[in-house]
Structure 1
Amino acid sequence: MEFKDRLKARMKAQGLNATALHKATGASKGTISFWVNGINGATGKNLLALAKALKCSPEWLATGRGEPEIGNPGAPEANLELLGDLSVWDEGDPLDEDDCEVPYYAEVEFAGGDGMTEVVEVADRKLRFSNATLRAAGVDCASAAVARVKGRSMERLIMDGAAIGFDMSDTSIIDGEIYAFNHGGMLRVKYLYRLPQGSIRISSENGDDYPDEIMTAESWREETNMLGRVFWWSTVRRSPRKR
């Protein structure tokens, strides 16, 4: 099934025509005609707006992967936008005019084999963003960095193995925003909330399996190092056989 087929199936299911999609998404009638006739597919903000209008998953609409329906209707709403693409950059590859290279952070195991890790910039690995993507997010290239998420605590929103982009200049906690931080050598990506007396509540998207944690102001200062606010993520669905 191609993009146009998935589009038409959801239009029929929701009782929408091209005029209704034009009003719901803000896309031009010509653009919608291209989608319906299979000339091209929706991307970026158009894809999100279209998926919202059709009440379906953006990933399924764009690729056919996953399920068409939007998961648990009671789940928290994503507060980030799909802004653009990211790709691995190797030394010697020319950067396009609108690209900028950003550092890559990962958990690195200390020598000695005791399993202890530290979150560090991997010097020989870079990734690149489109400057247009960063401008749309209000992020300066010099402040952007990327990492990969491990674990399922943020699933339904950020999948195990997904890449994230974070703004290293944006480290002041705004309640309910998602932040990347180094917690005792472990890279964590969570919702953060401020509490009285400087305490911090750490919340997961998958709250059923990963209950909230409360850290005192002293513990937060001593045990964590803020990396930045998460402004972008990719979507990755791993095979359950490889988990």
Structure 2
Amino acid sequence: MKKNKTCGKRFKAVLKEAKITTTAFADFLKIAQAQNVHNWYTRGVPEYRMEEVARILSINSAWLKTGEGPKDAKETRLIHDTGNIFDAHAIRGTYQVIEQTDVEVPFYKEMPLTPGSSKTHVVKDPENSIRLPRCDLDSLEIRHADAICARMVGNSMAEKIEDGSLVAIDRGLTQIIDGEIYAIEHDGMLLIKYLHRVPGNAIRIRSHNSAQYPDEVFRSAQIEEQNIRVLGWVFWWSTLNKRRPLVPFL
């Protein structure tokens, strides 16, 4: 067995000592899938990541790789966002890594395909996002990279989800579970609806406000022709009260 493959146990022990989860460490390295970092426990830290991992953990890269020599790095120099350089080893005993308590979720909305076009598509808005509690996503087993948000438009889901509400969507769950709420893209339009499966690979789209928006059934050919695709399962929404109450006698 190659020596660098034996470093998985040492890597795991250092993370445990520092009370850092593989999810948090993946965030440090800007790795989208925390499972990749978790795999290092058995496969070992990749050679090209060895120095970077050792620097972040303030340990000796030779010790991490082979188990030989001192564990602690003699000197670990970190460059802060301000440009200042710190000796991380010198301050190691005076700080602790604190995981972020929330996750920044990108915002998606309808946008014209081309400037001035009436045809739309659903795309990411780089100027907007929301933050959701990390613990809530973890409790629902939602990968942080799969979470997106959007805004409810119209009253088809009233009084369940009001017009203007923010919704959060799990793109990792696109399989239709009857009666669950999903975000769908219908020929460039972003819709929030109940979905049900219908025999023949068809789907029923249902609104909470069924009095004004009757059920619609789309056959397999229609789904393809009208570019209907499931964006993901809606797991959270928040409704703003649009009217501030008047305070009497003032």
Query: Is the TM-score greater than 0.5?
Result: yes
Q: 1:161 aligns with which of 157, 164, 174?
A: 164
- Name the CA distance, whole Å, in 2 between partners of 1:151 and 1:183: 15
Q: Who is 1:230 aligned against?
A: 234
- Name the CA distance, whole Å, in 2 between partners of 1:112 and 1:154: 30
Runs of 4+ in 1 over 6 A off after TM superposition: none
Q: 2:189 aligns with which of 177, 186, 210?
A: 186
Question: What amino acid sits opposite 1:194 in the alignment?
Answer: R
State the Cα distance separating 1:112 from its structure 2 match. 4.5
2:112 corresponds to 1:109: yes
State the Cα distance separating 1:191 from its structure 2 match. 0.3
State the Cα distance separating 1:220 from its structure 2 match. 1.6
SS in 2 for 1:119: strand
- Name the CA distance, whole Å, in 2 between partners of 1:229 and 1:108: 21
SS in 2 for 1:197: coil
List per-residue Cα deviations over 1:84-136 (Å, max 9, x = no partner).
Answer: xxxxxxxxxxx972121121100012334242211111123222211012123
- Name the CA distance, whole Å, in 1 between partners of 2:114 and 2:194: 32
List per-residue Cα deviations over 1:6-40 (Å, max 9, x = no partner).
Answer: xxxxxxxxxxxxxxxxxxxxxxxxxxxxxxxxxxx
State the Cα distance separating 1:221 from its structure 2 match. 3.3
Q: Please give the residue correspondences for 1:1-243 in structure 2 after superposition, counting only pairs within 5 Å.
A: 97-222=100-225, 223-239=227-243
Question: What amino acid sits opposite 1:190 in the alignment?
Answer: K
Q: Between Structure 1 and Structure 2, how many residues are aligned?
A: 146
- Name the CA distance, whole Å, in 2 between partners of 1:221 and 1:98: 41
Question: What amino acid sits opposite 1:205 in the alignment?
Answer: H
SS in 1 for 2:159: coil
Identity %: 41
- Name the CA distance, whole Å, in 1 between partners of 2:239 and 2:159: 10
| Mapped contact 1:144–1:167 kept (Cα < 8 A) | yes
- Name the CA distance, whole Å, in 2 between partners of 1:112 and 1:125: 20
TM-score, structure 1 as length reference: 0.56
TM-score, structure 2 as length reference: 0.55
- Name the CA distance, whole Å, in 1 between partners of 2:115 and 2:124: 20
- Name the CA distance, whole Å, in 2 between partners of 1:150 and 1:96: 34
SS in 1 for 2:200: helix
Question: What amino acid sits opposite 1:197 in the alignment?
Answer: G
- Name the CA distance, whole Å, in 1 between partners of 2:229 and 2:111: 16
Structure 1 unaligned residues grouped into runs of 5+: 1-94
SS in 2 for 1:188: strand
The Cα RMSD (Å) is: 2.0
- Name the CA distance, whole Å, in 2 between partners of 1:111 and 1:208: 35
- Name the CA distance, whole Å, in 2 between partners of 1:227 and 1:112: 24
SS in 1 for 2:135: helix
Structure 2 unaligned residues grouped into runs of 5+: 1-97, 244-250
Larger radius of gyration: 2
| Mapped contact 1:159–1:237 kept (Cα < 8 A) | no
SS in 1 for 2:136: helix
Larger relative contact order, structure 1 or 2 (CA cutoff 8 Å, min sep 6): 1
State the Cα distance separating 1:193 from its structure 2 match. 0.4
| Mapped contact 1:181–1:188 kept (Cα < 8 A) | yes
